[in-house]
Amino acid sequence: MSAASNVHYRTCNLCEAMCGLEITYRDREVLSIAGDKNDPFSRGHICPKAVALKDIYTDPNRLKRPVRRTETGWEEISWEEAFTEVVTRLRQVQAQHGTDAVGVYAGNPSIHNLGTTIAAPGFIKALQTRHMFSASSADQFPHHFAAWQMFGHPMLMPVPDIDHTDYWLILGGNPIASNGSIMTAPDVANRLRAIQQRGGKVVVVDPRHTETARKADEHVFIRPGTDAFLLMAMVHVLFADELVNVGRLAAFTDGVETVQALVATDFSPEQAEVLTGIPAQTIRRLTHAFAAAPKAACYGRVGVSTQAFGGLALWLVNAINVLTGKLDSPGGMMFTTPAVDFLAGAKPYNRYGRWKSRVRGLPEFMGELPVSTLSDEILTPGPGQIRAMVTSCGNPVLSTPNGRKLDDAFASLDFMVSIDIYINETTRHAHIILPTATGLETAHYDTTFHFLAIRNTAKFSEPLFEKDTGAKYDWEIFEELRLRLEHAEFDATTPLPRPEQKIDLGLRYGPYGKTGLSLRTLIDNPHGIDLGPLQPRLPDRLLTADKRLNLAPELIIADISRLKEALTARLTNAMPLQLIGRRHLRDNNSWMHNSERLVKGPNRCTLQMHPQDAASRSIVAGQTVTVRSRVGAVEVPVELTTDMMPGVVSMPHGYGHGRKGVKLAIASQHAGVSINDLTDEQEIDALTGTAAFNGVWVEVLAGENV
């Protein structure tokens, strides 16, 4: 007789939305995964990816024990052997070539795994390298930069209070597909509908008529990479038409006059029209509507962040919210009060430009160098060259610009270790892979996403299943590596501190600790706890040295000259089309294509193109075309759609699994090609070092291999 089924509640850790799951299981088998209706935040919402947690758990390609690459293939080795070899080889490289000869790449799931979030930094610190890279410079550095410069700390990023807003202006975000980012908001679709039901409006600015645009009240096409011109023109209109109303923020805000002077003569809507393709009248109308709405939030995301003027664009997004008094005001852009507040006691921030990258002279930010220059640092000989790499939770061969160059660079290393669960496009270059227990096997608390949520909430998930015998948690791996690197006496019988102990401390000493919130409370409330709507937090929350909000920071204002140059040059190129990215609900960056239920159906790795652009090139629907950029070419089937702005083409990222040595049985059958074989490692936002993925100049030619 089989045992009865049981129910387990936990948070989905696959994206930023923090959906509550209700999982029925028997023994070690998942019977079903559904939305947890009693989760006060997600209210039963899930997306199709949640069910794939089961596929990851049962995936025969997922590694459970360390493996070593040999001439005849991969062999399993013991943890002792793996740790010894990794630490010996890393030390050897550092002894021979200096500490900077070891580079690190930390990828996106680093912040979706509690153990990695808590334990990886100690290991990285023990390496003492200045060659630290992460997905942040392929994603959100502009948000951090603007937050640091204006509010005093890179983590002080405001989020849209969409549950109370009457006007949500979205630039370069597609939350209906991505489920939101730098805005943890499970069930965006219903929250968006609620805005409309209470008489509010949603406006989307995007070069593609997206899934979100379809649900919005208005969609405006914009030429890729030109948001900073639109936003400057909006600031111009705010001053010219006397719409500025800083309100209560005026008491602690500096720099309003500086910004006014910047837009006094330049950056009119007429000038912006030429670059953005948005009629001047539309820019004026949108600005007036935004300023007039009592509760409005201007929100920008990946589309505006990963472009040549990303830093300026995110500063302008904040500036527009400040100038109209919508920052830190209900229904506007607000700051979360998280239950675990890792900014408690934070000092004014200075982690910028303390060192520069060796080859291109790019400044460090937040202890990191731009990932766009990682391949240069590996391939360029000389003192300080990277000879060994550590990757964790990352697949930069598919996810960073000019991935082919990085692919070649990784192949040239003396040593590489990957902390990862798969043998994929990146980790196939590793000499040793250390796999972590993951997903349903782990305890979970979202330190980062509770911090960026549109409501104050807290939730802890216990592991559902025990990890496999012989498997290790990520925090065990990082702690052991750290201790061995530090030559500390390593005593296998002394238990390592568990990450949830840190969460317990964080909760007790956090803003709700006085009311008794602790890990125990969260364990007793497995659906999570609601701590109320966002509250105004300024000026108290500011971390600038003078406790004032700086609307016109020097580093940012200096970058305006670059924008002015582009205003004159008008962004032309010998290549006629501009390439942008695309996210699909059933993709998750580069790593979830090994789940049959997520990849089945029509091929999603297509080039979307406007029919006019196709006709002028004699391209027909479904045909395989060649897309060529400065750095490379790919062949991909074309999909014709008026969803695309003419002159703009789009491809998803995270495909390209057809490379030799990849051990992903299902993903390899849906290999696709990588957009990052086209994106250019030389094209970055000069201010923040962020990859300019969007607006890459390309040509599209009918036929294969042309």
For ligand MGD, the binding residue among 161, 273, 559, 587 (CB under 6 A) is 587
The DSSP result for 346-368, as a single string, is PPPP--EEEEE-TTT-PEEETTB
Residue 44 CB, nearest distance to ligand SF4 (Å)? 11
CA-wise closest residue to 630 among 577, 696, 694:
696
Q: How many residues of this chain interact with ligand SF4, rule: CB under 6 A?
A: 12
Which residue, 17 or 599, has its beta carbon nearer to ligand SF4?
17
- Window 633-672: contact mask with ligand SF4 (x via CB under 6 A): ----------------------------------------
Contact between residue 150 and residue 258 where contact means Cβ atoms under 8 Å apart: no
- Distance from C-alpha of 641 to C-alpha of 609, rounded to nearest angstrom: 6
230 CB-side CA count, 13 A: 31
Name the phi and psi angles at 407, rounded to 5: -55, -50
12 binds, among Mo ion, ligand MGD, ligand SF4, none (CB under 5 to 8 A by kind): ligand SF4
**Strands of the 218-220 sheet, one edge to the other:** 218-220, 201-205, 167-171, 296-300
Q: Which two tokens stand for residue 159?
A: 């989020």
Q: Which two tokens stand for residue 343?
A: 């900014």
Contact between residue 624 and residue 256 where contact means Cβ atoms under 8 Å apart: no
> Does 17 help bind ligand SF4 (rule: CB under 6 A)?
yes
Which residue, 15 or 560, has its beta carbon nearer to ligand SF4?
15
What is the SS3 assignment for 682? coil
For Mo ion, the binding residue among 139, 161, 504, 639 (CB under 5 A) is 139
689 binds, among Mo ion, ligand MGD, ligand SF4, none (CB under 5 to 8 A by kind): none
- Distance from C-alpha of 306 to C-alpha of 645, rounded to nearest angstrom: 19
Segment near ligand SF4 (CB under 6 A); pick from 13-21, 90-98, 368-376, 684-692: 13-21
| Count of residues making up the chain | 706
CA-wise closest residue to 349 among 117, 137, 145, 157:
145
- Strand 363-365 versus strand 352-356 pairing type: antiparallel
Segment near ligand MGD (CB under 6 A); pick from 93-101, 125-133, 352-360, 386-394: 386-394
Residue 504 CB, nearest distance to ligand MGD (Å)? 22
For ligand MGD, the binding residue among 42, 287, 375, 679 (CB under 6 A) is 679
- Window 164-183: contact mask with ligand SF4 (x via CB under 6 A): ---------------x----
For ligand MGD, the binding residue among 11, 113, 337, 447 (CB under 6 A) is 113
17 binds, among Mo ion, ligand SF4, ligand MGD, none (CB under 5 to 8 A by kind): ligand SF4
Residue 256 CB, nearest distance to ligand MGD (Å)? 26
Instruction: Give the CA distances from residue 648 to residues 159, 190, 202, 399, 584, in Å, rounded to whole numbers and listed in that order.
Output: 29, 30, 23, 21, 18
Contact between residue 644 and residue 222 where contact means Cβ atoms under 8 Å apart: no
> Does 311 help bind ligand MGD (rule: CB under 6 A)?
no
- Distance from C-alpha of 586 to C-alpha of 605, rounded to nearest angstrom: 12
- Distance from C-alpha of 258 to C-alpha of 553, rounded to nearest angstrom: 10
Contact between residue 600 and residue 635 where contact means Cβ atoms under 8 Å apart: no
386 binds, among ligand SF4, ligand MGD, Mo ion, none (CB under 5 to 8 A by kind): none
DSSP code at position 702: E
Which residue, 205 or 638, has its beta carbon nearer to ligand MGD?
205
Residue 510 CB, nearest distance to ligand MGD (Å)? 26
Residue type at 168 in one-letter notation: W
66 binds, among Mo ion, ligand SF4, ligand MGD, none (CB under 5 to 8 A by kind): none
> Does 419 help bind ligand MGD (rule: CB under 6 A)?
yes
Q: Which two tokens stand for residue 140?
A: 């959100």
594 binds, among Mo ion, ligand MGD, ligand SF4, none (CB under 5 to 8 A by kind): none
> Does 49 help bind ligand SF4 (rule: CB under 6 A)?
yes
Which residue, 18 or 534, has its beta carbon nearer to ligand SF4?
18
Contacts with 433 (C-beta within 8 Å, 6 or more apart), sequence order: 63, 66, 67, 417, 418, 419, 420, 423, 427
- Distance from C-alpha of 29 to C-alpha of 14, rounded to nearest angstrom: 20
Supply the angle between the helices 560-569 and 269-276 in degrees, to the nearest 10. 70
Residue 394 CB, nearest distance to Mo ion (Å)? 11
> Does 402 help bind ligand MGD (rule: CB under 6 A)?
no
**Bridge partners, 205 (sequence order):** 171, 220
Region 27-46 residues binding ligand SF4, contact defined as CB under 6 A: 46
- Distance from C-alpha of 599 to C-alpha of 28, rounded to nearest angstrom: 25
Residue 359 CB, nearest distance to Mo ion (Å)? 25
Region 199-238 residues binding ligand MGD, contact defined as CB under 6 A: 205-208, 210, 222, 224-225, 227
19 binds, among Mo ion, ligand SF4, ligand MGD, none (CB under 5 to 8 A by kind): ligand SF4
> Does 392 help bind ligand MGD (rule: CB under 6 A)?
yes
- Distance from C-alpha of 604 to C-alpha of 171, rounded to nearest angstrom: 24
Q: Which two tokens stand for residue 665?
A: 């049985």
The DSSP result for 33-81, as a single string, is EEE-TT-TTTTT---GGGGHHHHHHH-TTS--S-EEEETTEEEE--HHH
Which residue, 83 or 512, has its beta carbon nearer to ligand MGD?
83
Q: How many residues of this chain interact with Mo ion, rule: CB under 5 A?
A: 1
Which positions lie near ligand SF4, rule CB under 6 A? 12, 14-15, 17-19, 46-47, 49-50, 179, 186
Which positions lie near Mo ion, rule CB under 5 A? 139
Which positions lie near ligand MGD, rule CB under 6 A? 15, 107-109, 113, 135, 138-139, 171-175, 177-179, 181, 205-208, 210, 222, 224-225, 227, 301-304, 307, 392-396, 399, 419-422, 424, 436, 438, 474, 580-581, 583-585, 587-591, 653-654, 675-676, 679, 693-695
